[in-house]
Amino acid sequence: MVRVKSRCGNCGEVALSLEDILLVEHGDGDGTFYTFICCTCGGAQAYPADSRFIDFMRMNGTKPIVLAHPIERKQAEDAPPICWDDLLDLHLLLQEDS
C-alpha cells in the first residue's frame, strides 16, 4: 500500500494512505488542495497541492473533486451589494409570514 507523509497542525507528521486523501480542485481557478482527517486527533486538515502531488495522485487513480460555484453566485456578481434597507425589508417580510 502506498503511503504518503503529511502534517497535522496538532500532531505533526502523519502517514496517510491514498484513500485517506481527498483532492479538491476549486473550479474558479483558486488552485487544488488536498484534505484529510487526521487519524490521531480527528482534525480536518487542508493544504495546497502542487502539480507534482496532483500528478502523483492522478497516476495512482485519484481524480480531484471539482468544486463549482452555484449559478446564483455568478448572477450576484452584477448585483449591487446588500445594504441596511435590504435587511430591514427582509426583516419586515419575515414578520409578515409568521
Would you tell me which residues interact with Zn ion (CB under 5 A)? 8, 10-11, 38, 40-41, 43
Residues 6+ apart with CB under 8 A from 61: 18
Task: Compare residues 27 and 43 and give the one whose CB is closer to Zn ion.
Answer: 43
* Nearest distance from C-beta of residue 46 to Zn ion, angstroms: 13
- Give the residue among 32, 14, 15 at the shortest CA–CA distance from 23: 32
- In the DSSP assignment, the letter for residue 77 is T
* Nearest distance from C-beta of residue 30 to Zn ion, angstroms: 25
* Nearest distance from C-beta of residue 62 to Zn ion, angstroms: 21
